[in-house]
Structure 1
Amino acid sequence: MSNPTRAELLGPLLKSVSRSFYLTLNVLPAGMRDPVGLAYLLARAADTIADTSLISPGKRMELLLSFRSQVNGVPDSDALTAIRAEVASQQIDSEEKLLLESLEPALAVLSQFEELDREAVREIVATLTEGMEFDLRTFPDENSGRIIALQEFAELDQYTYMVAGCVGVFWTKMTYAHVPETFTDPPALVMDRGVRLGKALQMTNVLRDCGKDLRIGRCYLPAMMLARWDLEPQDLLSPDMSLRARPVLFELVRKALDHFRAGIEYTLSLPALFVRLRLACLWPILIGLETVSLLVDNDRWLDPAKVSKIRRGDVYRILAVSVPMVASDRLVRMWTERLIARIEARMKELWGDSDPFAPKKSVAQSK
């Protein structure tokens, strides 16, 4: 696939790099598939540029900003050559290498889109790359041996918007454009719920990947939250600290569950007859909630060798069971509310009846 066609880019290549997300893409209405698929490819290419640790953070930043300019329509063949030479050559994964070598035809496909789709793809890639830029500016070189933490929850909240919440905006715009008269609720409310669905999924990713991220110097758990439990980012490198850090996990899980509830309402605001769109929203919600359930049960959630990841068989079970029930608001609510209730009950069981989000007083304070 030396110079892939549009069909090859948005077919075999997209499938090879998107893995489970391709299942969601595959059920989308026809008009949405190409812009959503191409946005995913471009975002994945940007992510690869930002994450290639064999290249210095400064050089990655330069290449990332150059790539963003290319997506925005600023022609520069030398920039694509530099990405191929400096980033593609470092890839062990052959699919990632092929993706980076296919940027020129991918950008050509983007230029062929209708203006609304083209601008929406450019906007989402710009925001996602701002999130990647945030990572490169905020955190140290992966090999420095240092760890830097976000300071406040507001920073984490903004980060989850830049790398996932903005996808809710893009997804909603694409739905309105290609499947008119879908959402039954007011547009502003729908957009807010779409943003919150994206944030829920990214919050889940942050908690699931915490152990791995710590080892490359990135602590997305806010330092102010850790400090309330006399914890510092460096402490979290020990998997044995998982239980001690559990209150921070639970507090962030509670915030994620609130976002998931908004995501469920987002899904149910789609009329029941739009089965494909409902499934595309419901699948990541169900997989996300199952992942959160595993996290809450995981006594070593900070251990990168004990990642809370649902099994492939469970993914297939979710796909199979959801199809016959997705058109029923009642059944979808029952399923998702049962999952949320199980998570909340488990947190209460593990932490008791006291408020798990308020640090316990020391002996001195209680006197």
Structure 2
Amino acid sequence: MNQPLLNHATQTMAAGSKSFATASKLFDASTRRSALMLYAWCRHCDDVIDGQELGFAAPVVSISDAEQRLAKLQSQTRQAYAGAPMDEPAFAAFQEVVLAHDIPQQQAFDHLEGYAMDVRDEAYLNFDDTLRYCYHVAGVVGLMMARVMGVRDEAVLDRACDLGLAFQLTNIARDIVEDAQAGRCYLPADWLAEEGLTPATLADEANRPALARLATRLINAAEPYYDSARAGLPGLPLRCAWAIATARGVYREIGIKVQRAGSDAWQRRQGTSKMEKLGLLISGAGMAVTSRVRSPTPRPAGLWQRPR
């Protein structure tokens, strides 16, 4: 075992995603190692594009500079799949995971496309456009994480993708103002027009009631994807089902808090306390156990379908 790689991945997870860090402790040691190292690569790519470190202290990054950074990430990803020696810890970790779990190269490049959409300052004209972004930055991560857990059934992989979509819709709702201040907007343009808003006016304090309505639309839109993800728990090993049920509960609770806070949702970053996480961990255990005896249900019609 390469302990320095695991240490690096663990530190990255602890600093970058406290929500998933809690759930990841429920995995068996081997699955946890791979999940942490895959997360470290995703976090590294995000930071490279934005010129950040674990999501903080971002300087202004020009488009041409970001394009060069993206091209380097794409090149390093190809090299990792080719088995070339990797000096960057995040890519060494990534290489170990994708080769060990046979993660398709296209999925890695689908994830990099999410960063490319940011670099291009992509416009999101309607909700399907927003869901397409959610797929690239989070849905495909759900696919890769599921493969780490041993999933190969396409129907179960659909549910893993749905959970990623739900997570990202929640993130967008939570971070509307923070994203707007960074010059980014993932809300559908037609939704904004209905509220008389533009990306340039999203961060204005006077528009918080309208933002609360938009956030509620996102959170409500995430619910069928959270429901679909829950229905996929029987396709996971029990400990993995517990971890994923817990992560689902934590992220869903963040969305509920954003909705409940209304216009005040962006006064501080919404999250869950240690006691709330503990309660969600316990309820996740119950959800995982009962999933063993639940009959499989078809994926609801009308949900966004990942590319295959």
Deviation at 1:244, TM superposition (A): 2.8
- C-alpha distance in 1, partners of 2:176/2:5? 32
Q: Quick one: which amino acid aligns to residue 149 of structure 2?
A: T
The question of 1:176 aligning with 2:150 is answered yes
Q: What does 1:212-231 align with in structure 2 at a 5 Å threshold?
A: 212-231=178-197
d(CA) in 2 for partners of 1:71, 1:168: 18
Conservation of the 8 A alpha-carbon contact between 2:176 and 2:185 = yes
Unaligned runs of 5+ in 1: 81-101, 140-148, 181-186, 333-367
CA offsets, 1:201-246, max 9 Å, x none? 0100011011100001111111111112322223322233222343
Per the alignment, residue 267 of structure 1 pairs with 233
**1:154 matched to which residue of 2?**
128
Maintained 8 Å contact 1:35/1:121: no
Q: Which residue identity lines up with residue 121 of structure 2 in the other structure? A: T
**Who is 1:347 aligned against?**
none
Cα drift, residue 115 of structure 1: 3.9
Identity %: 22
TM-fit CA distance, 1:108: 4.4
Distance 1:33 1:127 in 2: 23
Q: Give the Å deviation of 1:73.
A: 1.2
Contact 2:159/2:229 (<8 A) preserved: yes
Deviates more, 1:197-206 or 1:128-137: 128-137
Q: Distance in 2 between matches of 1:74 and 1:172?
A: 20
Q: Is 1:57 aligned to 2:63, yes or no?
A: yes
TM-score, length-normalised on structure 1?
0.68
In the alignment, which of 72, 92, 117 is matched to residue 78 of structure 2? 72
Q: Which residue of 2 aligns with 1:344?
A: none
Alignment RMSD? 3.0
Q: Please show how residues 273-352 of structure 1 align to structure 2 within 5 Å.
A: 274-301=237-264, 303=266, 305-323=267-285, 326-329=288-291
* Separation (CA, whole Å) in 1 of partners of 2:97 and 2:259: 44
Answer yes or no: is the 8 Å Cα contact 2:37–2:94 preserved in 1. yes
CA contact (8 A) 1:127 1:166 kept: yes
Gaps of 5+ in 2: 52-57, 295-308
* Number of the residue aligned with 1:48: 47
Residues 114-156 of structure 1 show CA distances to partners (whole Å, capped at 9, x for unaligned) of: 8452x517544322221011101116xxxxxxxxx52211210
Superposition TM-score, scaled by structure 2 size: 0.79
Rg (Cα) greater in structure: 1
| 1:250–1:106 Cα change, 3 Å | closer
Higher relative contact order (CA 8 A, sep 6+): 2
- Number of residue equivalences: 280
When residues 226 and 113 of structure 1 are mapped into structure 2, their CA distance, relative to the original with a 3 A threshold, is closer
1:362 aligns with none
**How far, CA to CA, are the matches of 2:98 and 2:275 in structure 1?**
39
SS of the equivalent of 1:28 reads coil
Paired residues of 2:10 and 2:36 also in contact (CA < 8 A):
no
